[in-house]
Structure 1
Amino acid sequence: MTVQGPALTLPDAAPEAPDARLTPMMAQYLEIKHANPDCLLFYRMGDFYELFFGDAEIASRTLGIVLTKRGKHAGEDIRMCGVPVDRAEDYLQRLIAAGHRVAVCEQQEDPAEARKRGAKSVVKRGVVRLVTPGTITEETLLEPGRASLLAAVARVRAGEGWTYGLAAVDISTGAFTVAEASEGALAAEIARLEPREILVPDAILDEPALRALWRETRAHVTPLARDGLDAASGERRLCAFYGVSSLAGFGAFARAEIAAAAAAVAYVERTQLGARPPLSAPAREAADACMAIDAATRASLELTRTLAGERAGSLLAAVDRTLTPAGGRLMAERLAGPLTDAGAINARLDAVAWLVDDPAARSAFRSALKRAPDMARALSRLTLERGGPRDLAGLRDGLAAARSLGAALAQAAVLPAELAQAGAVLRGMDGALEAALAGCLADELPLNKRDGGFVRAGHDPALDDARALRDESRRVVAALQARYAEETGARTLRVKHNNFLGYFVEVPQAVGETLVKPPLNAVFVHRQTMQGAMRFSTAELGDLESRIASAADRALALELAHFDRLREMAVAGAAGLKAVAAALARIDVAAALADLAEAGGWVRPAVDDSLAFAIERGRHPVVEAALKRDGQPFVANDADLSAPEGGRGGRIALITGPNMAGKSTFLRQNALIAVLAQMGSFVPAARAHLGVVDRLFSRVGAADDLARGRSTFMVEMIEAAAILNQATPRSLVILDEIGRGTATFDGLSIAWATIEHLHETNRCRSLFATHFHELTALARRLPRLLNLTVRVTEWQGDVVFLHEVAPGVADRSYGVQVAKLAGLPRAVVDRARMILDELEASERQAPVDRMVDDLPLFAAARPTAGFAEAPAGADPLRDALKAVDPDALSPREALEALYRLKAAAQ
């Protein structure tokens, strides 16, 4: 977590008065800085943004630029550093990534106007926007395929406890969603959204139960100075923002959702300084609409990012074949939040299946999509008046692609609902904007509108005339330069221009000395002497400058008028443009998943509301792709965790086998297949039938959390506790090596009790990998527990991994052989093998077999702690003593039995 500066107050605080002893420029700087204390101030001075005082020190460290000084204040040097305006976005990106907010302060008048007020007058400046991690819109600062979300958290009283509201806004596209969550579900919701910035009121930030959440999140956390906005004031703010009298037209919202949404809107208004982004009306997301996946499970399965935080190597990177930025964002959104409604899932699968069955249509769609730019983000920049000609061209090209796709969809006799709805949007769009854009914009466009040259020649006769005059004048300049060079005999004479002198003649100093003497001084008027050069003006150049400036200014003014007209048309049609952009994204995702399915031999899963989980020849999508790049095959495996007919819950598969044999891959691939199926994708298998999974839990591997004083085992137990306390019969649980982080008997006991709890209480579908081979005996007493093993064989003393999962039990762990493969010294391996042989030779009958038969099953699960609630007349301690056979116990077993009896007697 990065906490960004002091807590913000809504609304803004009033600025403090500057020190009267400062220079006018520094007084102005401090006045603006006091109004934006939580931001680094980019203060425009000519071609640089300058930073002063503490801001300069922070920027210097973060950006690695030189720290200088400019004058003194209160007897101390004023620290200063600066960045060039033309490279400002690069530096902004680095500052934002480091968790800082930046206030961009621009000159708001021409310096010549300031000089008219007096020699010491300061150019008027003002902050034009605040740049924060969650409110950026610049194309160079955004990841094309990733949403740029600003999240806001609020809470309201609900009986004896609290209810939390969560709002998520993407001002780069206008997306706006709200949801309600319990305290326990808040972390999972934030992990699903993966926001870049989170607004958190101080009271929530200091909540003991949530401190770990704010510390561990990847997002930048921005504190709010109070609890934010209550529901009543929040509703008034939202109504004012959207210009409505009531929110009823948008749907029914909980009080916490309204408070969170209002906090997000207030922050957007504050950072955008009056510019209104094209935010959609807030859409409410039902709490159970998506598969619940906590942060630990997302990290373990590497859904959208690897454990190192990289996209490469994640499931998203393996499946994303979208062709548009909006499609990439939608793919990531669907993967992060798989659906739980079987009907909605199958509607998505219908679209993918239709495109799999019609490769010609899929090819035509993808060909059109390649020409579709990021319409949503282009529209947002135009609405905020930060767009340029290329953003208008993005709308033009996107609308052209939409028209092409709409025509292709119209030719289909029967379409699945997902594609039919998208096609209706595309066919219903107004063609006036596309025609206006296509008729006005040139083929080659500048980045900035003030550069001009973006209106097509022939579109506006008045503009063509102004351009002709401007261009003709430029040719006159070239002719004058040639004539002056001939008259003075100076081949190096150049006619140049700057804002201070206008047009001027520049010659080497030796030539200049002749120009200041008769007769040439009658034509050339000396203006400036520089090192090695002299500058002169002439009456002809002065007259020419006036004509050129007039023509150029008129041409630019006409072009800017065309830009404003087209921008206003786009803003007026924002709702339709956003609908078109969303339709293109849906088509892109469906076509991409169809392309993936055909290329990878993936199949459509059968998804319903049962407790089925039957996968034939399933494969891990990421591992298979990596092996395929190396020319190696992936060994497919079956998995069946379906509830038995008439059974009370799903099966638990207990998987044994050595390390490196593929247990973790098998566990993860089945979890990923469930995620893919419920996001609406085909899956890497020969056949798949899945009942909807409401919650997905994965505890595969763990590490120390030293910062919080937690060992690997503690982390493992915390994650296991979350699973056992939350999993339902509809959940899917993936567990690997529970209990291995502590002593053998402690670990075995925890794993044993965990399996019993999953079987009897949670009753969920589960894959449980373990090295405790003793647990396999539980299959005799737990009817829904089945044993699987990963097959291996030995060849000349070495273990060979077959990566095949089959019914059965591993006869050994092959730990010594794996250690040999890992490169342990031969002496250590040989000694380990010798010790192992001795231990196995002296091993007596495994006590676990007797425990399975004799230990009261699920005793801890019943409310009989200490046997306090045993039936009247029963003597549990005496019964336990009768069950002990002293002659069959080893000394260790006898001691453990004694401790158990002592505990039972208390």
Structure 2
Amino acid sequence: MPQKTKQTPMMEQYLGIKANYPDAFLFYRLGDFYELFNEDAVKASQLLEVTLTSRNRNADEPIPMCGVPYHAAKGYIDNLIEKGYKVAICEQVEDPKTAKGMVKREVVQLITPGTAMDTKSMDAKTNNYLAALMSTETDGYYLAYADLSTGELKTTKLNSIESVMSELMSLKTKEVVFKEAMEIELQAKLKTTLGIMVSTQEEMVESAEFSYLTDEIENSESINVVKLLLSYLYVTQKRNLGHLQKVEVYSPANYLKMDHYSKRNLELVSSLRTGQKKGTLLWLLDETKTAMGGRLLKQWIDRPLIQEKQISMRQNIVESLINHFFERTDLNEALTRVYDLERLAGRVAFGNVNGRDLIQLQASLRQIPQLIEVIQLMNKGEWDQFITELDQVPEVVELIDLAVDEDAPLSIKDGGIIKDGFNEKLDTYRDAMRNGKKWIAQLEAEEKAATGIKNLKIGYNRIFGYYIEITKANLVNLPEGRYERKQTLANAERFITPALKEKEILILEAEEKSMLLEYTLFTEVRETIKQYIERLQKLAKTVAAIDVLQSFATVSEKYHYTRPVMAANSQEIDLIEGRHPVVEKVLGQQTYVPNSVEMNRENEILLITGPNMSGKSTYMRQLALTVIMAQMGCFVPADKALIPIFDQIFTRIGAADDLIAGQSTFMVEMMEANEALRYASKNSLILFDEIGRGTATYDGMALAEAIIEYIHEKVHAKTLFSTHYHELTLLDERLPRLKNVHVGAVEEEGELVFLHKMLPGPADKSYGIQVAKLAGLPDELLSRATVILEELEQKEEIVLNHIGQIDPISEVQIPSKISQKEKNKAMDDGQLSLFGLLEGSESEVVKAVRKMNLLTMTPLEAMNCINEWQQKLN
């Protein structure tokens, strides 16, 4: 019967370490494997699809166990990180040869979704942000975030939970750090609503390095949240964080503000339908040649400018690039040979750079003189700052050129990474290795000649070293006493000679010392390059900005965009023959129908009507994307563009539930509308598509009308408001700054044809049944819907004809104005007694008269009814 056994020293060590990392998979190094035990093993075997075994199988309670090879561990770790888990890497931290008892082991790094540097799914053009969040009782929320792979470090202050959620969603943050037991409700909301990992960090680490990063910040709360973030990085990564850049304080108010819902609705970086990049503004604009340029482009899309001078500066450079086609071509060729300087610098500082990385760094730096030369050919003043900031860092180029072999292997511990001639001692070892191996080759030839054994060979393995091997059939030809027997095989004998043993010692010693020396020399090179990290990071930012601007120029030229005129204090929009840039790219310029948008102080609201699928939403998005592109510094898709500088964009486009948060389509619609009504200014842009359609007709129409009135009278923002409520088109009679426009559509031989052209005035009908026909609904159903529509239209016509006339039942004149609701009630009642509808009790009396059957009533019953009616009317 299996006996229950006491924990071994190894398992005691494992359990002690695991206790400090309860929320992480512990990868415990044993020889050439990382092993996992107990619950970690059970869960990891399922997630990673590796075999689950057990330790101490004969015990009452065998220990579940699984493992992954050390050399292949990265793929398994990446897999767990991408699934949203943490992994603690536990290594031997002392030499087993000198250890007494159990070899000491420690966790050398905790890898989390927010601290992963280079998982297989990470897009080179995408940042991986880790955030930290702190709140105050009176001053809102303080947010800090960093990308460990690039060294980017930023902080800001946000006023509300909604702003926090929006910012985290825009950053696509995978992990947020809190102080322990702080903001428990918000932590839960981030987990459930956004699917973000929440981590806690109680200890605040004090460090001179941290003080340096924050020494330019004046606000103590901002310093605290940055220190919280840095403390978490220090505790989890357990290594130098010297590549982190000085913290940049930013304010969302310094950029064109868009909440996450607006960014999502406008499909700036991900498609609403697929969640992918294709079909987005980023997809259109991304002609960048470098990974860091691609990341910066996303940041510029996320935060367009609001300062006229900065916008103009970017536009000047884009225009310069468009006007210098050949120079731009040379510039692009140089950029394509620039690797990811930001992440290479991060890898150098983080200590996980290899020889090939340094060769890429050197190759990138060698392109900088070419960039400077090309820019100088175009320079008319716009490029001065860039020329100054294009630091060639020649010290790094020269060091790598002298030290690192161009064909360096991926490993930094197996030799072959340092060039000949860099270090005299290393050259001596290599000479001994090369000469020793040459001597062995010569010895083999001499022994073949001396013994006459043609298949004699000298070989090597790690266990027995060098040996002379002779097949048993040839042993009779071997002079007795020539060699010393070393090993017997089935078909051969292996021998050694004193001279061969001496050379073996020399060669192996040289190889071992050579590899150790190469590793030492490489780490010295790496440490030297660390001194230039800040210069490399500044260079990376400059190259990234040049890359994004050339991307703007390439796209602008390719699609015939025009330079917009930006006016900070203007209330005028004059967008002539504008196009939706993404739709145009998909359809082609020959197919796309352009439309103009003209608004000014006297026209603040465009009320847009027209059939579904005719292009109302496209027209609205077109304006928003044009504004965003213009305020990024790019040219825009239009024949002419005069655009004010907007401070905010608010959108309500499309229907979407937020079921996780327990919110229906209509609730989401109202929340997004509320954001605009509360925070928009006269310098904002509002896009409302079909507001009110998520509830009953009368509620929706009432809300839509009230919202339009509120914007017109209180907000004064430039607003595009599309609707199917044709009754709202009458608002232009009493709202002087509202203008009706509609998307043209015609019926040709019973088929609906969209003109996709915006025309003045309201649409005459909705064409709903025709659109349903295009969608493929059954003919029988469409025919029935047509009949019902005709009946409803006839009823409404009769009602309208009675307005202003004498009610045939009450014999009182019907008011000239009645509401749609009252019209519909009248239609339901058979088009009569309209006045009664408006008079409450009289309406009930009229209904009772209609229902009354005199032929079945006694005179007394009739008198009682009349008495009741009189009481109601009195």
Residues 535-554 of structure 1 deviation map (CA, whole Å, 9 limit, x = unaligned): 96745765444222222233
Distance in 2 of aligned mates of 1:849 and 1:782 = 28
Report what 2:329 is aligned to: 363
Distance in 1 of aligned mates of 2:8 and 2:185 = 45
The answer to whether residue 612 in structure 2 is matched with residue 612 in structure 1 is no
Distance in 2 of aligned mates of 1:224 and 1:411 = 53
The answer to whether residue 486 in structure 2 is matched with residue 525 in structure 1 is yes
Report what 1:326 is aligned to: 292
1:316 CA drift (Å): 0.8
1:112 CA drift (Å): 4.0
Report what 1:634 is aligned to: 592
RMSD of Structure 2 on Structure 1 (CA)? 3.6
Residues 561 and 415 (structure 1), Cα distance of their counterparts in 2 relative to 1, 3 Å cut: farther
Q: Secondary structure at the match of 1:179?
A: strand
Report what 2:505 is aligned to: 546
Q: Secondary structure at the match of 1:61?
A: helix
Residue of structure 2 aligned with 1:436, choices 386, 390, 399: 399
The answer to whether residue 192 in structure 2 is matched with residue 215 in structure 1 is yes
| More deviation, 675-684/439-448 | 439-448
1:213 CA drift (Å): 4.8
Q: Secondary structure at the match of 2:352?
A: coil
The answer to whether residue 475 in structure 2 is matched with residue 497 in structure 1 is no
Residues 481 and 153 (structure 1), Cα distance of their counterparts in 2 relative to 1, 3 Å cut: farther
The answer to whether residue 164 in structure 2 is matched with residue 200 in structure 1 is no
Residue of structure 1 aligned with 2:103, choices 87, 99, 123: 123
Distance in 1 of aligned mates of 2:841 and 2:184 = 43
Residues 889 and 91 (structure 1), Cα distance of their counterparts in 2 relative to 1, 3 Å cut: closer
Residues 148 and 484 (structure 1), Cα distance of their counterparts in 2 relative to 1, 3 Å cut: farther
1:660 CA drift (Å): 1.4
1:773 CA drift (Å): 1.4
Residues 160-189 of structure 1 deviation map (CA, whole Å, 9 limit, x = unaligned): xx4210101112111111101111422232
Q: Check the 8 A contact 2:803/2:816 in 1, yes or no.
A: no
1:608 CA drift (Å): 2.5
Q: Check the 8 A contact 1:477/1:495 in 2, yes or no.
A: no
Report what 2:351 is aligned to: 385
Distance in 2 of aligned mates of 1:901 and 1:462 = 113
Residue of structure 1 aligned with 2:384, choices 408, 420, 432: 420
Residues 765-805 of structure 1 deviation map (CA, whole Å, 9 limit, x = unaligned): 11111111111111111112111211122222111122212
Q: Check the 8 A contact 1:439/1:459 in 2, yes or no.
A: yes
1:367 CA drift (Å): 1.6
The answer to whether residue 43 in structure 2 is matched with residue 66 in structure 1 is no
Query: Structure 1: which 5+ runs fail to align?
Result: 1-18, 230-236, 645-649, 852-879
The answer to whether residue 256 in structure 2 is matched with residue 291 in structure 1 is yes
Residue of structure 1 aligned with 2:306, choices 325, 340, 359: 340
For 1:215, give the aligned amino acid.
T
1:343 CA drift (Å): 1.9
Residue of structure 1 aligned with 2:519, choices 535, 552, 560: 560
Residues 881 and 800 (structure 1), Cα distance of their counterparts in 2 relative to 1, 3 Å cut: closer
Residues 207 and 730 (structure 1), Cα distance of their counterparts in 2 relative to 1, 3 Å cut: farther
Q: Check the 8 A contact 2:799/2:826 in 1, yes or no.
A: no
The answer to whether residue 604 in structure 2 is matched with residue 651 in structure 1 is yes
| More deviation, 795-804/587-596 | 795-804
Report what 1:871 is aligned to: none
Distance in 1 of aligned mates of 2:94 and 2:447 = 36
The answer to whether residue 315 in structure 2 is matched with residue 354 in structure 1 is no
Residues 54 and 632 (structure 1), Cα distance of their counterparts in 2 relative to 1, 3 Å cut: farther
For 1:155, give the aligned amino acid.
S
Distance in 1 of aligned mates of 2:418 and 2:737 = 72
1:145 CA drift (Å): 0.6
Distance in 2 of aligned mates of 1:257 and 1:848 = 69
For 1:455, give the aligned amino acid.
I
1:711 CA drift (Å): 2.5
Residue of structure 1 aligned with 2:82, choices 80, 83, 97: 97
For 1:24, give the aligned amino acid.
P
Report what 1:700 is aligned to: 653
Residue of structure 2 aligned with 1:837, choices 790, 803, 814: 790
Q: Secondary structure at the match of 2:400?
A: helix
For 1:469, give the aligned amino acid.
A
1:684 CA drift (Å): 1.5
Q: Check the 8 A contact 1:597/1:682 in 2, yes or no.
A: yes
Report what 1:621 is aligned to: 581
For 2:754, give the aligned amino acid.
F
1:672 CA drift (Å): 1.3
Residue of structure 2 aligned with 1:732, choices 663, 672, 685: 685
Residue of structure 1 aligned with 2:38, choices 33, 47, 53: 53
| More deviation, 580-589/538-547 | 538-547
Distance in 2 of aligned mates of 1:887 and 1:798 = 31
1:290 CA drift (Å): 1.5
1:287 CA drift (Å): 3.5
Q: Which has the larger radius of gyration?
A: 2
Q: Check the 8 A contact 1:495/1:504 in 2, yes or no.
A: yes
Q: Check the 8 A contact 2:650/2:685 in 1, yes or no.
A: yes
Residues 366 and 847 (structure 1), Cα distance of their counterparts in 2 relative to 1, 3 Å cut: farther
| More deviation, 775-784/838-847 | 838-847
The answer to whether residue 166 in structure 2 is matched with residue 188 in structure 1 is yes
Residues 883 and 770 (structure 1), Cα distance of their counterparts in 2 relative to 1, 3 Å cut: closer
Q: Check the 8 A contact 1:503/1:537 in 2, yes or no.
A: no
Distance in 1 of aligned mates of 2:58 and 2:655 = 53
Report what 1:241 is aligned to: 209
Q: Secondary structure at the match of 1:495?
A: strand
For 2:53, give the aligned amino acid.
T
Residues 436 and 837 (structure 1), Cα distance of their counterparts in 2 relative to 1, 3 Å cut: same
Residues 491 and 443 (structure 1), Cα distance of their counterparts in 2 relative to 1, 3 Å cut: same
Q: Check the 8 A contact 1:250/1:283 in 2, yes or no.
A: no
For 2:580, give the aligned amino acid.
H
Q: Check the 8 A contact 2:687/2:720 in 1, yes or no.
A: yes
1:670 CA drift (Å): 1.4
Report what 1:660 is aligned to: 613
Q: Secondary structure at the match of 1:709?
A: coil
For 1:305, give the aligned amino acid.
S
Distance in 2 of aligned mates of 1:301 and 1:696 = 10
Residues 575-632 of structure 1 deviation map (CA, whole Å, 9 limit, x = unaligned): 211111111111111111111111111112222212333322222222222223xx86
Report what 1:395 is aligned to: 361
Q: Secondary structure at the match of 2:136?
A: strand
Residues 567 and 835 (structure 1), Cα distance of their counterparts in 2 relative to 1, 3 Å cut: same
Residues 673-707 of structure 1 deviation map (CA, whole Å, 9 limit, x = unaligned): 11111122111222222212212111111223333
Q: Check the 8 A contact 1:200/1:221 in 2, yes or no.
A: no
Report what 1:8 is aligned to: none
| More deviation, 286-295/482-491 | 482-491
Q: Check the 8 A contact 2:114/2:174 in 1, yes or no.
A: yes
Question: Structure 2-normalised TM-score?
Answer: 0.85
For 2:401, give the aligned amino acid.
A
Report what 1:31 is aligned to: 16
For 1:283, give the aligned amino acid.
E
Report what 1:232 is aligned to: none
For 2:111, give the aligned amino acid.
V
Distance in 1 of aligned mates of 2:17 and 2:314 = 52
Q: Check the 8 A contact 1:641/1:766 in 2, yes or no.
A: no
Q: Check the 8 A contact 2:305/2:631 in 1, yes or no.
A: yes
Q: Check the 8 A contact 1:154/1:257 in 2, yes or no.
A: no
1:641 CA drift (Å): 3.3
| More deviation, 792-801/306-315 | 306-315
Report what 1:265 is aligned to: 230
1:485 CA drift (Å): 10
Distance in 1 of aligned mates of 2:560 and 2:393 = 40
1:405 CA drift (Å): 1.5
The answer to whether residue 155 in structure 2 is matched with residue 175 in structure 1 is no
Residue of structure 2 aligned with 1:594, choices 553, 566, 578: 553
The answer to whether residue 707 in structure 2 is matched with residue 763 in structure 1 is no
Residues 560 and 839 (structure 1), Cα distance of their counterparts in 2 relative to 1, 3 Å cut: same
